[in-house]
Structure 1
Amino acid sequence: MKLRTYAMFALLISVLLLVGCSDSEGSTDAQEEDTEKTEQATETEAKTISHLKGETEIPENVEKVVALRPSYFDHLLTIGVKPVGVTAQAQYGGDYIPYLADQLEGAEIVGSAAEVNLEKILELEPDLILVDDYTASEVYEDLEKIAPTVVLGASSDEERNDPDFWQQDLMKIAKIFDKEDVAKEKIADLEEKVAEANETITNMENNRLAFLRIREKVIQIYPETTHPMVSLLYNDLGFEPAELTDEKERGDLSMEVIPELGADHIFLQVDSSGGPENYSSIQDSNLWKDLEAVENENVLKTDFWIYKAWGAIGRTQMVEEAMEYVNE
């Protein structure tokens, strides 16, 4: 009887040992599996973005972004992301760029493109900084010490002269936030507006256009290509370039050649520094008054389309403003 009891006790001990070993092995396997999942999650949480200064690893949940160029404000707002810090525009008294001012309300101004305030950026504790190569040439190393920094912009003359290059920057920013579908949708909406406008403008009898920039001491005429603004006007919307419009080069106009402008319509930008005084003087000139576009009141004063042309929000506003003018 005792022998049988001992045998049963030994069997019970063996079973318990086997179960213990099994649990231990299972626990180890589970731990290894959890570790593997954690490593995989870490790999997917960080994105590596290629840019003009190399590659930068960016965390998945970027919440606070500092943007140091107006077009990047436009790109961020296009995909529904509001920057916490932006650069000011000297042309507007050191404030937000006007066409985005309402949407940027509350964002901290962190200096200008020419003079970035690194201390203010540091105080914002950003998760990401977006900068162009001009500003990066001075402060990239300092910005990198604050937060992951991506340098956007063209890397070649071919890209710089591509009027649609702004879309590449938009898509790169959208990729950071997993909002590429949103960006594509906004681009498609814009293209639809452009196509509708083109149908109207190309069917106008007189659609020769000159885009002028009134600066402190000179009148400049913008070319037919090499800038996203004029590409939108001439290539996409379908205006014909005026007689004095060069294909590629921006030029200075003297008042003596103004009568040769050959434009049915004049769109112009007046620079805030010295421009209004110069424009007032130009308007007093009979050479200006006798222009066909001026006599027919076909002059549209724009609000810095040169900036607006680099983003989907700005370009959409340009198309709408142009169509409002055309339909008057």
Structure 2
Amino acid sequence: MKLKSYIMFAMVACLFLLAACSETEGQKDEGASKEEEKKQSETKTITHLKGETEIPENVDKVVALRPSYFDHMLTIDEKPAGVTAQPQYGGDYIPYLSDQLQGAEIVGSAAEVNLEKILEINPDLILADDYIASKIYEDLEKIAPTIVLGAESEEDRNDPEFWKQDLMKIAKIFDKEALAEEKIAELEEKVAKAQEEVAKLDNKKLAFLRIREKVIQIYPETTHPMVDFLYTDLGFEPSDLTDPKERGDLSMEVIPEMNADHIFLQVDSSGGPENYSSIQESSLWKDLDAVENGNVLKTDFWIYKAWGAIGRDQMVDEAMEYINK
């Protein structure tokens, strides 16, 4: 009898213990569920060109519709879920970021955004510039909260340092302002060392040319982050044909008047290579001091790279490789 009573008591005790454990686990699961719901319901307000927009506190999937925004996100270790393609590069990722963007969905181009593709991604947030927003902002807003980045004034638009403001605004979305500031500081330190190398050059006059299908363009001294990088950050001096503010077209006849010790250039993929081949055949080109001295650098997407920390870091490396060749 005593043995049976003991067994009965043990079984009842076990049942009570299991019930208590089950209740505790249930409370834990309920608590975790409520915590998750709380996180999902929390929001923050972001001020941008279209006013103020509430976004989730924890953003996961972001569609970015401008190459500089891809750069900014990757700078703070965030990968976009969707990106625009670059038609001039075969409708694929922008080349200098392609390795890091693998797996991101392509949602059309800046000229023709694919809204259905964005809808399929079901993003938490969309990042757009004022050009795209002027056309389809309301459509984007129907899919997900949309932040419109960019300059509010012409003065800001021409400020070569403005890219940092967009980087910091994107960093705020992810609560990563400290990381963004760290990356900017690292870049500035690297640029300062590069400037010291340029300062050692005896001749520093430089022209930046863009070879397009039917024209040669020379970039100005200011109003674009790329030329600010060349003339302010690195310390090159503008050539005699480099305008302070305006980009201009050059004929082959005036090219000898550049008086440039160094020529950096970008060749557009559509029609540019053919034009550049023709230019290189000309004696007016061959007789330039920069060409004769081998001081010509064919750059790699610098016009895009200048808008972000990753791109600018690559630009420093390419410039230093050129100087130390």
For 1:133-165, what per-residue CA distance to the aligned partner results, in whole angstroms no more than 9, with x for missing partners? Answer: 001111100000000100000010110011000
Q: For 2:266, what is the secondary structure of its paired residue?
A: strand
SS in 2 for 1:276: helix
- Cα deviation, 1:173-199, whole Å, max 9, x if unaligned, reads 000100000000000000001100011
Asked which structure has the greater CA Rg, the reply is 1
Secondary structure (helix, strand or coil) at the match of 1:87 reads: strand
Task: Indicate if the aligned counterparts of 2:40 and 2:58 stay in contact, CA closer than 8 A.
Answer: no
Q: Work out the CA distance in 2 between the residues paired with 1:253 and 1:317.
A: 28
User: How much has 1:282 moved relative to structure 2?
Assistant: 0.2
For structure 2, the 5+ residue unaligned runs are: 1-33
2:271 equivalent among 271, 274, 281: 274
Percent identical: 80
SS in structure 1 at match of 2:85: coil
SS in 2 for 1:50: strand
CA distance in 1, matches of 2:226, 2:308: 10
Measured in 2, the distance between the counterparts of 1:203 and 1:159 equals 33
Letter in 2 for 1:195: A
Counterpart mapping for 1:74-89 below 5 A = 74-89=71-86
Task: Note the 1:140-289 alignment, pairs <5 A.
Answer: 140-289=137-286
Cα distance change, pair 43–279 in 1 and its aligned pair in 2 (3 A)? closer
Question: Which whole-Å CA distance do the structure 1 matches of 2:98 and 2:139 have between them?
Answer: 28
Q: Structure 1, residues 1-37: CA drift from partner, whole Å, max 9, x if none?
A: xxxxxxxxxxxxxxxxxxxxxxxxxxxxxxxxxxxx9
Aligned partner of 1:47: which letter?
K
Deviation at 1:203, TM superposition (A): 2.2
**Distance in 2 between residues matched to 1:217 and 1:107, nearest whole Å:** 35
Normalised TM-score (structure 1): 0.87
**Structure 1 residues 48 and 63, CA gap change in structure 2 (3 angstroms):** same
What is the CA deviation profile of residues 50-102 of structure 1, one whole-angstrom value per residue up to 9, with x for unaligned ones?
A: 00111110111101000000000000000000001000001101000000000
Distance 2:107 2:39 in 1: 32
Select 1:50's aligned residue among 47, 50, 71: 47
In the alignment, which of 291, 300, 306 is matched to residue 309 of structure 1? 306
The residue type paired with residue 242 of structure 2 is T
Provide the rounded CA distance (Å) in 1 between the counterparts of 2:166 and 2:255. Answer: 38
The separation in 2 between residues aligned to 1:93 and 1:137, in whole angstroms, is: 26
- The answer on whether the counterparts of 2:76 and 2:179 sit within 8 Å (CA) in structure 1 is yes
Hey, what's the Cα distance between the residues in 1 that align with 2:162 and 2:111? 23
1:91 aligns with 2:91: no
Q: 2:116 aligns with which of 92, 113, 119?
A: 119
CA deviation after TM superposition for structure 1 residue 42, in Å: 7.3
Structural RMSD (CA): 1.5
Between Structure 1 and Structure 2, how many residues are aligned? 291
| One-letter amino acid of the counterpart of residue 201, structure 2 | M
Runs of 4+ in 1 over 4 A off after TM superposition: 41-44
Separation in structure 2 between the aligned mates of residue 262 and residue 66 of structure 1, nearest angstrom: 45
Cα offset for 1:247? Answer: 0.5
Structure 1 runs not aligned, ≥5 long: 1-36
Q: CA deviation at 1:45?
A: 2.5
Once residues 294 and 197 of structure 2 are traced to their aligned partners in structure 1, the CA distance between those partners, rounded to angstroms, is 20
Is 2:103 aligned against 1:106? yes
